[in-house]
Amino acid sequence: MDKIPDDLKRCVIFHGHICPARVRYVETQCPELIPHLSSAKSPQQMAGSVAKTYGTKVWNKPASQIFTVGIMPCTAKKFEASRPEFTSA
């Protein structure tokens, strides 16, 4: 931490972590660090994509008829679900 400039110390977090709250924090508070964020979906979104992709084969239903529901304490998940880059499986 000693080598990090004081103005960037507020932005030092785990950039590889795909927590939607941390992603939102970087976007709003430290936009200069956006290029260092992971482009991966969160585990919740990856599970939903797998369920839709795999579910179409298992249940012989179109992806539009397969839904996944997650009950989690983090309100940042709602924001993540509304992002346009995550609207497809």
Residue range 37-88, pLDDT digits in tens: 777 777 888 888 898 899 899 999 998 898 888 787 777 777 777 777 766 6
pLDDT-derived band at 7, boundaries 50, 70, 90: low
Q: Which residue has the tokens 């936009």?
A: 31
Check pLDDT > 80 for residue 17: no
* Length reported for the chain: 89
Mean pLDDT, rounded, for 10-36 = 74
